[in-house]
Copies of this chain bind each other. A is one copy, B any other.
Amino acid sequence: MREELKLESIRSNLIRQEETIIFSLIERAQFGKNLKIYTDTGIHIPDYNGSFLSYMMEEMERVFARVRRYTAPDEHPFTKNLPEPFLTAMVYDWPIKQTAININDKILTIYVDEIIPLICEKNDDHNYGSACVNDFTVLQALSKRIHYGKYVAESKYLGDIEGYKKLIEARDEEGIMEKLTNMQVEEKLLERVKIKTRTYGQEPETVNPIMKIQPDVISKIYKDFIIPLTKDVEVEYLLQRLD
């Protein structure tokens, strides 16, 4: 099995991504919800129909697309119709099957509707630009983690090709979901995220540390959104694995 598909390597990659997700959520949480940036009419942008966040993401992803970011197997843009890269495409030796799976639309909706209200205490503090830049950082971290489900699925598939083949050929989504679920690993992850959030979210100087974010909030985000969405990607990937 290729190095990046070994469970040990995937595990340490996912653990390191927890820091990126937790740091970025703590950074975003210092600003208000600023819901204006998420609605089409909140901030008027000349010659553009859409929210301030969508506008900013489209502009930044256009920059990234030109330098071939989205040709990498672990990168997924939020924007459609991006320009072609003007740098010669990198030749990647894909460790996973190439598919069109990209659930960023769903991730964006959940982020705005569910995650922002959970992490931000203030309402509108007029820091629209800062909120937006931090949103994009969080969204990229979530997207990377959730689509990493493709690697997880490939690794599990290679671990029991015959077992998965039977379920895939029967289009047994429920059976696939059950087979790839490991409750013990999930519970350990949630516990670890809680400890990390408590560690990184505190102001360590003071005796009674003020928390920059509630420790349970990020483990709730993992439980309710990140883990289920990752597993959706895994199931979807496996359903296409034999095509």
Chain A positions near chain B (C-beta within 8 angstroms): 15-16, 19-20, 23, 26-27, 30, 43, 45-46, 52, 55-56, 59-60, 63-64, 67, 69, 72, 86-87, 129, 137, 192, 195-196, 199-200, 202-205, 212
Contact = CB atoms under 8 A, between A and B. Distances in A.
The residue in A45, A72, A199, A202 that gathers the most chain B C-beta atoms within 10 A of its C-beta is A199
Contact of A63 (B16, B43, B56, B86): B56
B19 A212 contact: yes
A229 to B, nearest CB: 22
B59 A63 contact: yes
The residue in A46, A137, A200 that gathers the most chain B C-beta atoms within 10 A of its C-beta is A200
A59 B59 CA distance: 9
A107 to B, nearest CB: 18
> How many copies of this chain does one complex carry?
2
The residue in A30, A69, A205, A212 that gathers the most chain B C-beta atoms within 10 A of its C-beta is A205
A199 B204 contact: yes
A125 to B, nearest CB: 13
19 contacts: A15-B205, A16-B30, A19-B27, A19-B212, A23-B23, A23-B26, A23-B27, A43-B87, A45-B67, A45-B86, A45-B87, A46-B86, A56-B67, A67-B129, A137-B137, A196-B205, A199-B200, A199-B204, A200-B200
